[in-house]
Amino acid sequence: MLGRKLADRYKIVKSLGGGGFSKTFLAIDTQQDRRRCIVKKLQTDSDDNFTVRTARRLFSTEIKVLKRLGKYDQVPELFDNFVEDQDFFLVEQYIDGRNLKQELQWGRRWSEAKVIAFLQDILTTLAFVHRQSVIHRDLKPANIIRRRKDKKVVLIDFGSVKSQRQPSRTVVIGTSGYMPGEQSMGRPNYSSDVYAAGMIAIQALTGRDPAKGKLSANPKTGEILWRRYANVTPALAEVLDKMVRYDFRQRYSSAMDALEAIEPLAQGGFFSRRRVFQAVGFWGMALLGSGVAYEAFKRNPSLSQALKKIFSAAANREISSRQ
């Protein structure tokens, strides 16, 4: 495929890998300012009739869904689809950045503020996808790209999507560690995507990869045992616990419901830090503005150093919360 020009337009420059149903390539659009784009080719690992039919159906569904999603900023735009030499292709927008699998592969733990910002970002996109009656079904770090230009996360790979307008039992698709029980039985729903988003957030907080079995579950309840590996506030922990409940009926029913639970944490976290910073500032200014302060600092220089440390700690927390 390398060097081949498809549809007399898309020149293949690099293989990006693929899954069981398709192969993905980086290409140059020679008719559109030589912009980079992604070319996906329908290509199964098996010649089994059921596999081929399933792959074609999923490929066709992906094209329909991308058309339905349109030009939403945090979903790749579909540029083209065609058949050449009896092979099926689609062409979509290239997202410049790196996927979250690369960010998380070293087991580095994210701050709570960064995890909350991620959840706001991905749940906003998922809420849009769910409003189009679409379940992604394969939400995982490798399918989320942090865009280089603005650091926003973009949801990619809609090759496993399912329309909620057709709620019947379906073929099992997903990734172990991010796929909840009902999805593994062929009955995914919107909350299945919420579960996956919660598992990614837990992985970011704990540095433990659920796809590698690094997070265990309670043998009696099926609930994920993760809190002991994370430094997290009870408020966020409760939201994450509800996102990844074993029983989907106890989860947030959609991304919008989960987003509504996250938003107060983001706002409350920021304002509480700001109030702490202001309180420390007002207290310090009051001391410095009084005659008592002068005598206190004169008799006890360590008090002055302590105040400086308080100011520094408050300022550092405010700065880190915005990163």
The residues assigned a catalytic role are 138
DSSP label of 76:
P
> Rounded to 5 degrees, what angle do the CA atoms 191, 196, 199 make?
125
Rounded Cα distance, 90 and 284, in Å: 62
- Answer yes or no: is 212 a known binding residue: no
| Helix pair 301-321, 291-299: axis angle to 10 deg | 110
The rounded Cα 177 to chain-centroid distance in angstroms is 14
- Alpha carbons 27 and 14: distance in angstroms, whole number: 7
Q: Which long-range contacts (CB under 8 A, 24 or more apart) does 84-89 make?
A: 84/6, 84/7, 87/41, 87/42, 87/43, 88/41, 88/42, 88/56, 88/59, 89/6, 89/7, 89/39, 89/40, 89/41, 89/42
* Backbone phi, psi, residue 311, to 5°: -60, -45
Torsion angle of C-alpha atoms 227, 232, 237, 240, degrees rounded to 10: -90
Q: Write down the residue that tokens 């639970």 correspond to.
A: 261
* Cβ atoms within 10 Å, residue 26: 15
Q: What residues form the annotated binding site?
A: 41
Q: What residues form the annotated binding site for ATP?
A: 41
